[in-house]
Amino acid sequence: MSGKVRTIILVTIAALALVVVPTAQGTGAQAARKKPTIGGYKHLVVIFEENHSFDNLYGGWGRVGAQTVNGLHKPKARRSQVDQAGHPITCLLQNDANLVTTSQTVTWLDGTTHPGALTPRCSGTTARGVAFDSHFTSSKPFRIPTYIKPADRTCAPPTVFAANGVQKGDPQGLPGGCTRDLVHRFYQEQYQLDHGRQDRYATGSDAVGLTVGRYRTRKLPVYRYLHSRKGPNYVVADHFFQGAFGGSFLNHQYLVAAQPPQWDTSQLAIPAGKNSVLDAAGFPNKNYPLYNPDPAVAYNDAVLTQSCGLPTTVSGFACGNYAVNTMQPSWAPSGGGSNVLPGINDVDPTKPFYETNIGDEMSAKHISWNWYAGGWDAAAAGHPDPLFQYHHQPLNYFQNYAPGMPGRAHLKDETAFFAAAHAGTLPKVSFVKPIGEENEHPGYASTHSGERHLVRLIKAALRGPDGKDTLVVVTYDEFGGQRDHMAPPGQGSHAGVAPADQFGPGTRIPALIIGGRFSHSGVDHGWHDTTSILATIERAYGLAPLSTRDARVSTLRSALMIGRRGHS
């Protein structure tokens, strides 16, 4: 995958539909100036939430007007997960603190142990031969709120890590209905997708059965807001996929650069242990309950892709020195540690990997924009919130956005977004990233609390002086380790339906498009991924694509047309 790609695409009639060109007032022989917009909207607000698959949140959306959202009513959505040998799982192992049975024990935050709460209904054996029992006699989707309600005190304090979640009754638990976290990494997800069969999410996860849990869509704050008496018209994009396989770090890079960062070996040799080592199935980890590892493989679930050209290299999976799992920026604010990437994304044009991102391209064309992050000011000042996530700040990996560099002025606190929205001073493009407590990430955030904050953001964008001229795109960085029934482009029967490569797209994720002047609500069945946001910006403002992916992917034009005309 060449990082130098700058393919110029032909502008089609479909692409032109994104650009509305009103005529400016002029005098004498002065030519009227064209003012490009995104589908007639002067402002685009992209709200980037955390870690949920489409089925997990929106699977029960149902109908929007005359259209039906592709959700859990589909037969494929109710298919069982399979074990490593391909057999249906009929007794589903669970390890979330609130999903285990009375015969199992849970460790509270004070170190004491307590029995689980659920009645055993079936028994099974893990791939490693460990016997277990479970309350779940099927691996089909189950409703999380049946067991963990939004008000339950199952969230850990911000400075505490609870690997399997916080059991109801633990006196240190905080309200919010939190679950445990689920693995969401580059190679694991490809195994979970199982070539488009979507049936190995549980087997390829540290969170096993939680992978098929789902929320009650119509109880979610964003659903209730959109269907309230004064709720705006909206479009659900039900074929929208995360840009790359894996987790937040890489998918934030795809949001701003449409490709993975590459380690610059001219600046620093790759230390031992940074490249992944896979088994024949492409799996990198030997420690998951339902996965039986190959004893002949020296597994390494590392931050970089596997090395190329070695006896251990597994064909069909990305190789080279691409950063695909969580790494830290080289400068503040950064989590530091051994996963700092010195020199990555340097803007020196002699380097053999990409240097440009969407921020640089907009700045070069004098298109106003900002990245707004919850907790940014405190983190940049050296006293970050305990749940500020450094790897959710993708532009901070680029040298042009380091302290003292010109791009730094575009990195702002989320409070500045609310102020600009209320004052009518939003830039043309705004990216909004909530802080950890409010981003919906399983393990350390509450889904319902995060959605209430999401509604606040949408209302701020649409109710300010710029509201009628504002287009809001709400989506999630990635699937959070949770199952979805629809195969991504490039997987199974969906090979060739949309751009795909060895880096993605991955699992389907929730996506909403809300226009201040939408006259209709509907469902967009067009194929999109995270880089469709970049393509929309690029084609509206005449910017060069950043990679082959955003050069070829569809824009959000189809959603805009539905919002204006009601067709889907």
Concatenated DSSP letters of 408-452 = GGGEEEHHHHHHHHHHT---SEEEEE--GGGS--TTTS-HHHHHH
pLDDT, residue 35, reads 77
Q: What's residue 292's pLDDT?
A: 96
pLDDT band at 138 (very low <50, low <70, confident <90, very high): very high
**Rounded-to-5 percentages of helix, strand, coil across the chain:** 25, 15, 60
Looking at every residue in the chain, the average pLDDT score rounds to 91
pLDDT score of 75: 87
The pair phi, psi for residue 214, each rounded to 5°, is -145, 160
Residue pLDDT, tens place only, 166-215: 999 999 999 999 999 999 999 999 999 999 999 999 999 999 999 999 99
Residue 399's pLDDT band, with cuts at 50, 70 and 90, is confident
pLDDT at 74: 87
pLDDT tens digits for 144-164? 999 999 999 999 999 999 999
Q: Average pLDDT in the 48-70 region?
A: 96
Report the distance separating Cα 127 and Cα 279, nearest Å.
16
Given a cut of 70, whether residue 13 has pLDDT beyond it is no
Name the DSSP class of 314: P
Peptide bond into 465 cis (omega under 30): no
Over 70: is that where the pLDDT of 454 sits? yes
Nearest to 193 by CA among 476, 499, 506: 506
Per-residue confidence (pLDDT) for residue 77, from 0 to 100: 83
Q: 78-109, pLDDT tens digit by residue?
A: 899 999 999 999 999 999 999 999 999 999 99
pLDDT of 20 higher than 60? no
User: Cα separation of 528 and 562, whole Å?
Assistant: 15
Radius of gyration of the chain (CA): 23
Instruction: Name the band, by pLDDT with cuts 50, 70 and 90, for residue 7.
Output: very low
Task: Pull the structure tokens for residue 283.
Answer: 């799996």
Q: What is the pLDDT of residue 270?
A: 86
Burial of 532 (0-12, 13-18, 19+ CB in 10 A): buried
Task: Find out whether 287 and 206 touch, Cβ atoms under 8 Å.
Answer: yes
**C-beta separation of 257 from 479 below 8 A:** no
Q: Are the beta carbons of 506 and 244 closer than 8 angstroms?
A: yes
Res. 10: pLDDT tops 50 = no
> 43: closest CA among 435, 532, 417, 549?
417
Cα gap 567→88, rounded to integer Å: 40
264 — pLDDT class (breaks 50, 70, 90): confident
Q: What is the pLDDT, as a whole number, of residue 370?
A: 98
Q: How confident is the model at residue 354 (pLDDT cuts 50, 70, 90)?
A: low
* pLDDT of the residue at 18: 54
Angle separating helix axes 447-463 and 414-423, nearest 10 degrees: 30
**In this predicted structure, what is the pLDDT of residue 281?**
97
Rounded to an integer, the average pLDDT of 297-309 is 97
Nearest to 35 by CA among 50, 23, 45: 23
The answer to whether 212 touches 134, Cβ cutoff 8 Å, is no
Question: What per-residue confidence (pLDDT) applies to 32?
Answer: 39
Residue 24 has pLDDT above 60, yes or no: no
Q: Measure the CA–CA gap between 92 and 488, rounded to whole angstroms.
A: 25
507-561: per-residue pLDDT in tens? Answer: 999 999 999 999 999 999 999 999 999 999 999 999 999 999 999 999 999 999 9
| Identity of the amino acid at 78 | R
Place of tokens 């590392």: 302
Distance from C-alpha of 119 to C-alpha of 342, rounded to nearest angstrom: 51
Nearest to 206 by CA among 291, 101, 299: 291
Q: State pLDDT tens for residues 467-482.
A: 999 999 999 999 999 9
The domain ranges of the chain are: 38-72+216-260+348-565
d(CA 122, CA 488): 33
Which pLDDT score, from 0 to 100, does residue 474 have? 98
Strand order of the β-sheet with 522-524 is: 411-413, 369-373, 429-433, 43-49, 470-476, 511-515, 235-237, 522-524
Exposure on the CB side of residue 64, measured as CA atoms within 13 A: 28
Please name the fold of domain 38-72+216-260+348-565. Answer: Alkaline Phosphatase, subunit A (3.40.720)
For 474, phi and psi rounded to 5 degrees? -110, 125
Determine the pLDDT at residue 441: 98
Between CA 422 and CA 302 the distance in angstroms is: 44
Distance CA 272, CA 182 (A): 27
> d(Cα 278, Cα 365) in Å, to the nearest integer?
43
User: Does residue 351 surpass a pLDDT of 60?
Assistant: no
Q: Name residue 409's amino acid.
A: A
End-to-end CA distance of the chain: 34
- Reported as half-sphere exposure (CB side, CA atoms, 13 A), residue 390 has a value of 22
Q: How confident is the model at residue 339 (pLDDT cuts 50, 70, 90)?
A: confident
**Which segment of 27-36, 135-144, 523-532, 559-568 scores lowest on mean pLDDT?**
27-36
